[in-house]
A and B are shown apart, each in its own frame.
Chain A
Amino acid sequence: MTGRQIMTADEIRRATIRISHEIVEKQAGTARLALVGIQRRGVPLAHRIAAAIAEHEGVIVPVGALDITFYRDDLSLVAQQPVVKGTDLPFDLNGSTVVLVDDVLYTGRTIRAAMDALVDFGRPQAIRLAVLVDRGHRELPIRADHVGKNVPTSREEVVKVQLAEIDGDDGVNIERAVAAVPAAPVG
């Protein structure tokens, strides 16, 4: 594996704060706003955005975690069933504006699965999407409302987001997978 860094810890921090401003601007406030992180790295990102909103708006926006494992369309393609990490949506979705948060937007299949999962819990008034990195190569008609960084990539490359809460430190790296690519998580 050879890798190069495309976002530093500072860039991740600034992108997160900018996204938090964009979300509030688009919603014209924080009324009925909720953030839902997609397991795993979307969850700490959602909490960081919520913390930034609390900082500049003085309002605590509810944050949930969504595991989309059971909604994936590639369960029959993966060699082993993925480990389930749990869903926790501690607020009423009905009528709210839900901002889905994920680390990397790739094929769009994860987001399709996340929307399917979300509507099983209620009927949000609107669903939006915020991602730290958009790497292109969409396979579904899905786009993000808020993007930390657009990164042109080839399909042979792997975008690895590291977050302190899970990986010990912050950073986004792009790596060229050598030989057999371990089935990259759809994103």
Chain B
Amino acid sequence: MTVVDGETQAAAFEVPIVDSPPEAQQVGWRHRHLLDVDALSWPDIELVMRTTDAMREVLRRPITKVPALRGRNVTILFYEASTRTRVSFEVAARNLSADVVNIAAATSSVTKGESLVDTVRTVEALGAQMLVMRHSVSGAPYLAAEIFSGSVLNGGDGWHAHPTQALLDLYTMQARFDDGSLAGRKVVILGDVLHSRVARSNIWTLTAAGADVWLCGPATLLRGFEAWAGRGAADGRRFHVTSSVDEALRDADVVMALRIQKERMAAGLLPSLREYAARYGLTRERLAAARPEALVMHPGPMNEGVEIAADVAAGAQSVIEEQVRNGVAVRMALLYLLAGTARS
């Protein structure tokens, strides 16, 4: 090989560093817990996104394990059924070399009547330093955070919040858009908004990112959101509530279908699943109203044929598997950032 001329040589030696300007690096992480995204500032969210980029790079290495959390005990305490969130947290913690303890409430002393407070004190006495928690009661992780001396990560509480899901959804969308920005993009959240902690957390991050958020579903599953949209508008956040699928999907950039949560559904909210699927299910015909390159998302687990048609879920516009993959990287980033403030 011979020396190339000055100009091309300069190009060949361009610094390939994934780097940010020095002033942006002053942003530090101050949070001890991750209970919901409403506590995060926009610079906090950007720090999570940048750290997630680094974790994605780790996941592309021949050995996807780094020693950042060596010797840390991450205890995963789930009071509700879960596959992807629990496994995703476990894989994320293991990739950072943490020691993982898994507790499923269904097979623990909780079935003997142990209270949440006693369980949290017990796992702390057993060495837990970071606690990942899912609970069917909204606000339960806030109670745990009051008594636990380490970090609490909310893996979903009742109808209230699912912060890691909202952050991985945001990351997935930003990674897919050429300019990496959601500003002015129309994002539709379609389906059982009423029972959805995913929707509640996503509203915060998506409106903070400048997206135009549309909530769509049967009126019975949108109760209360009109008022929130009004307050949000006063805040400069843009979101709309509608029961018209056509209006919502028209020229949408992202369509996120939500699972119909049968286990939380009170009688009388829906005539039948069949009727719901016919009127609000995300089918190929309905999706045609959105932009041709619109992203199809779903937080999982899916009821195929109810809120989303099987061919849409597996179609070319679907980024559902990317959501799962990015979930591991986002959770690694959050565990890493929180570990710095975990000591009490």
Is chain B a partner of chain A in the same complex?
A: yes
Shortest Cβ distance from A149 into chain B, in angstroms? 23
Q: A interface, how many residues as a size bin? A: 35 or more
B57, B65, B336: the one contacting A87 at CB < 8 Å is B57
Check if B336 sits within 8 Å of A40, measured CB to CB: no
Counting residue pairs across A and B whose Cβ atoms lie within 8 Å, the total is 99
A42 CB to closest chain B CB, in angstroms? 10
* Bound Cα distance from A166 to B343, whole angstroms: 33
Bound CA span A81–B3, Å: 42
Question: Given A70-B58, A78-B340, A63–B2 Cβ distance below 8 Å?
Answer: no
Asked whether B25 is an interface residue with its Cβ less than 8 Å from the other chain, the reply is yes
Q: For the complex, is A14 an interface residue (Cβ under 8 Å from B)?
A: no
Beta-carbon contact of A83 and B15 below 8 Å? no
B3 / chain A contacts, CB cutoff of 8 Å? 54-55, 58
Contact call A75/B339, Cβ cutoff below 8 A: yes
* Contact partner, A51, options B9, B54, B66, B339, Cβ 8 Å: B9
- B337 engages A81 (CB within 8 Å): yes
Q: Are B17 and A58 in contact (CB under 8 A)?
A: no
Number of interface residues of B (CB under 8 A): 41
Q: Which positions 320-344 of chain B face chain A at CB distance < 8 Å? A: 336-337, 339-341, 343
A97-105, A116-124, A138-146, A152-160: which one contacts chain B? A116-124
Question: Cβ of B65: which chain A residues have Cβ within 8 Å of it?
Answer: 120
Q: B-side binding surface: helix, strand, loop or mixed?
A: loop
> Is B51 an interface position by the 8 A CB rule?
yes
Which residues in window 63-83 of A have CB below 8 A to B? 63, 65, 67, 69-72, 75-76, 78-81, 83
Chain A residues contacting B54 (CB-CB under 8 Å) are 67, 69, 84-86
Given A67-B54, A80-B28, A80-B341, also A86-B18 (CB < 8 A): yes
Q: How far is the CB of B290 from chain A (nearest CB, A)?
A: 34
Residues of B within 8 A of A55 (CB): 3
Question: Do the beta carbons of B47 and A83 come within 8 Å of each other?
Answer: yes
Q: Check B62–A81 contact: CB distance below 8 A.
A: no
User: Which of A86, A120, A121, A122 lies in contact with B17, CB distance below 8 A?
Assistant: A86
Residue among B1, B9, B20 with the highest chain A CB neighbour number at 10 A: B1
